[in-house]
Amino acid sequence: MSGAAPLVLRHPDAASVAAMTAGRLLAAVQDAVVERGVAHVALTGGSMGSALVGALAEHRQRGVVDWSRVHVWWGDERYLPAGDDDRNDTQNDRAGLTSLGLVPEHVHRVAGPDTSASAEESAAAYERALREHGSGLWDVVLLGVGPDGHVASLFPGHPAQLRDDALVVAVHDSPKPPPVRVSITIDCLSNSRGVWFVVSGGDKADAVARGVAGAPAAESSAAQVRGLERTLWLVDEPAAARLV
C-alpha cells in the first residue's frame, strides 16, 4: 500500500474532532495559498462533514485564510436536485460554508437531476470540471467513514468501489440512502497531499480499526485511501475503541 502511513489523532468527542480538524484545515489551506497561490479541498458529506464546516465558520481565526483563492469540491454527492435537504452541499451550506467568503465559481457543486440527464452525465461533467479547474493534486481530502468502512459513496463490495477508469463515477443502489450518487474514485481521492478521515462514534470503531490496519477492499474502502504526504485519522475516543 503506497502513500503515507496512517497517523491516529484521538480526541474526547465529536465536537473536539471538528474543532481540531477545523484549525488544522485553516493552517493547511493558508499554507497552500501562500506557497502555491491556490488551495483545493474536497469536502465530505455526513454529520462529521457538516460539523467540520460549522467549526470552520465559527473559528476565530478563519479570517487568516484568503478564501478567494480556495476551491472546494465534494468527494461525493447525492444525486438530488440543487437545494435538496439531503444533498451534501446543502447540508454544508447550512452549516456555514457560504459564510466563509468563498468565490461562488470556486465552489464546485455536483449537478443533480435538475441540471443533468443522469448520474453518469453528472459524473462526467464533474470529471471535466476537475480536469479543467483542479490543480491535478488535492491539498486536503476530507472523508467521513461509514460503519461498513465506506468513504464518499464507495462501498465495500459495490461495483463502483474499485473503478479505476475514471476520476468520478456514478453510483447506483447505494447501501446508504439515497440510492443514486456521484463519487470521486479511490485513486483520485488518493491523489492528495493530505487525506484526513474525520470519524466519531462507537459504531465506527470496527471501521476505524480496519481502515488504520489496511484491511482489504472487501472490508474497507477507507483502507484503500492514503495521502501522498499525510494520512490522518482524526477520531474521538469511542471511534478509537478497537485500535490496538
Can you give the binding site for ligand 6PG, defined by CB under 6 A?
Answer: 44-49, 76, 78, 88, 144-146, 150-153, 176
Closest to ligand 6PG by CB, 76 or 206: 76
Question: Which phi and psi (to 5°) does residue 169 adopt?
Answer: -130, 155
205: CB partners within 8 A, 6+ apart: 238, 239, 240, 241, 242
Cα distance between residue 150 and residue 156, in whole Å: 6
Closest to ligand 6PG by CB, 144 or 194: 144
Closest to ligand 6PG by CB, 24 or 176: 176
Q: Name the nearest CA neighbour of 221 among 78, 44, 91, 40.
A: 44
Instruction: Report the nearest approach of ligand 6PG to the CB of residue 145 (Å).
Output: 6
Instruction: Report the nearest approach of ligand 6PG to the CB of residue 37 (Å).
Output: 29
Instruction: Report the nearest approach of ligand 6PG to the CB of residue 171 (Å).
Output: 10
CA 44, 96, 65, 233 torsion: positive or negative?
negative
Closest to ligand 6PG by CB, 49 or 65: 49
Q: Which residues pair with 140 in a beta bridge?
A: 41, 194
Cα distance between residue 203 and residue 122, in whole Å: 32
Closest to ligand 6PG by CB, 136 or 177: 177
Instruction: Report the nearest approach of ligand 6PG to the CB of residue 79 (Å).
Output: 11
DSSP three-state, residue 78: strand
How far lies 107's CA from each of 11, 40, 72, in Å?
Answer: 30, 10, 5
Instruction: Report the nearest approach of ligand 6PG to the CB of residue 96 (Å).
Output: 17
Residue 209: its H or E element: helix 205-213
34: CB partners within 8 A, 6+ apart: none
Instruction: Report the nearest approach of ligand 6PG to the CB of residue 183 (Å).
Output: 8
Residue positions counted in the chain: 244
Closest to ligand 6PG by CB, 10 or 176: 176
